[in-house]
Amino acid sequence: MHHGNPTETLARFLKARDWDVQKAYKMLTDCLQWRIQNEIDNILSKPIIPADLYRAVRDSQLVGLSGYSKEGLPVIAIGVGLSTYDKASVNYYVQSHIQMNEYRDRVILPAATQKYGKHISTCLKVLDMTGLKLSALNQIKLLTTISTIDDLNYPEKTETYYIVNAPYIFSACWKAVKPLLQERTKRKIQVLQGCGRDELLKVMDYSSLPHFCRKEGSGSSRNRSNGTIDNCFSLDHSYHQQLYNYIRHQANLIESGRPIKQGSVHVEFPEPDPEDTKIAKTIESEFQRLADQNGICNSLNGLKVNGD
């Protein structure tokens, strides 16, 4: 699990529990138990098949690797607003998320460490809020599950979260949620103006910018981003091709010529932290408030005045 860096791993768990040794010890042993019970060490040998099913997962769970920062940190792009999570069962989305985590820790980060000549153990995440709607309320439970898995079993793996293309609905929720976050977490989150292009170019080159952060006036790059060259969410992007081929290769090594089994990996969902539950409920109530407000506006818009 520590990939040759036990001290750094222990520090991550300690940091996640504000340097309380007993709490960090419990968190680490619970994590190890979760990994053993759910055979997480073998999850990169269990591909989501057939390929059409995996493509459906990729088209509805928008996550990808767009490049690296100037410091060598992987840049993970996430399409929060446009992810629908409606093409497969919950278990497939959780399986895919854990596989991307494990691939990051076992392959991406060690390769970055070797390439940049220094130890790299964290990443940057750029969250695109384009298309965020009140209907996202339906996905709160799944997103809380994924967030809990990350918090409890992959702590302190993200250096900074950049929020871009934030609509009003996000701003309203952020205002309600921000006071509930720990100071450590608040310091990691940066809400950028518009697509965040100028700010992000301070920490990464243009080639590493997620496609949704590139200005529309950039001509050919805009056209290509609609395809597979720049769109790191697409299964046809080099990152997802490498990831999927890696998993299939690992499966073939284990199965030794036998057909690869179909079906999702059933991972036990850990109980969310009480603070995470409170945050999820706050988001839920804020979405509900906005929905009610929206309903009133729609009703008023539907009224006829003086026969008009």
Supply the DSSP string of the chain, one letter for each residue.
Answer: --TT-HHHHHHHHHHHTTT-HHHHHHHHHHHHHHHHHTTGGGGGG---SSHHHHHHHHHHS-EEEEEEBTTS-EEEEEETTT----SS-HHHHHHHHHHHHHHIIIIIHHHHHHHHTS----EEEEEE-TT--GGGGGGHHHHHHHHHHHHHHSTT-EEEEEEES--HHHHHHHHHHGGGS-HHHHTTEEE-STT-HHHHTTTB-GGGS-GGGS-GGGTHHHHHHTTTSS-TTSTTSHHHHHHHHHHHHHHHHHHTTSPPPPS---PPPPPPPHHHHHHHHHHHHHHHHHHHHHHHHHHHHH--STT-
251-261 pLDDT tens trace: 988 876 666 66
Is 119 inside a domain boundary?
A: yes
CB atoms within 10 A of CB 19: 10
- Look at residue 112 in the predicted model and tell me its pLDDT: 97
From CA 240, how far away is CA 64, in angstroms rounded?
Answer: 7
Residue 183 counted as domain residue: yes
Residue 144 lies in a domain: yes
Q: Indicate which CATH number applies to the domain containing 62.
A: 3.40.525.10
Q: In this predicted structure, what is the pLDDT of residue 230?
A: 81
| pLDDT at 303 (0 to 100) | 41
The per-residue pLDDT for 174 is 86
Residues 6+ apart with CB under 8 A from 152: 27, 30, 31, 34, 270, 273
Q: Which residues of the chain have pLDDT under 70?
A: 215-229, 256-264, 294-308
Domains of the chain: total:
1
303 part of a folded domain: no
- Whether 1 is covered by a domain: the verdict is no
In a domain, 161, yes or no: yes
**Gap between the Cα atoms of 257 and 198, Å rounded:** 50
Q: Which of 78, 239, 240 is nearest to 143 (CA)?
A: 78
Which residues span the domain enclosing 156? 10-214+229-254+263-290
Question: Tens of pLDDT along 72-126?
Answer: 999 999 999 999 999 999 999 999 999 999 999 999 999 999 999 999 999 999 9
Burial class (CB in 10 A: 0-12, 13-18, 19+), 16: buried
Q: Domain for residue 30, yes or no?
A: yes
pLDDT in tens, 13-31: 999 999 999 999 999 999 9
In the prediction, which pLDDT does 41 show? Answer: 95
- Let me know if residue 88 belongs to a domain: yes
